Amino acid sequence: MRSQNSGSRKANSAWWTISLAALTLALFPAHSQRVQGRCASVNATNARAVIDCQGTACSQVSLTWDEDKQQYKAQNSSDRWVRVSAANMAADVSICIGPGKDAYIALKSIVAPYRANYGEACDQAAPGE
């Protein structure tokens, strides 16, 4: 009976360990991205790629994770002003990016999709504003 309890405790302990690891990955996606990146020998920039975009300027705007600044960086490769908007569970951010410029979005996580549209009152804005 004693050895059966010991085996049961080990199984229960393993279940709790796995459950806590899964909960941690769900609650802290930035950490899980870094862990996944290290395990797959991929850097965090590639692990944090945002995949979905909606809007008229998606083909000309890229959004990448900057590990040093711990923020997303939007790059406008078009010859027109673009408004980029993104959100997470706590905030909604919108910035204007001039032609050929880049700017940082002050978010550490993004709930996809982000939006990228030409114009939208950006023509008079300062770059990155």
Give, for all 129 residues of the chain, the pLDDT tens digit.
555 555 555 555 555 555 555 555 555 555 444 444 333 333 344 445 556 899 999 999 999 999 999 999 999 999 999 999 999 999 999 999 999 999 999 988 888 799 999 976 675 555 454
Separation CA 102–CA 52 (nearest Å) = 19
- Residue 80 dihedral angles phi and psi, to the nearest 5°: -130, 160
Helices (H) and strands (E) in the chain, counts: 3, 7
Determine contact, residues 86/107, Cβ cutoff 8 Å.
Answer: yes
pTM for the model: 0.58
Residue type, 84: V
- Closest by Cα among 80, 72, 29, 79 to 53: 72
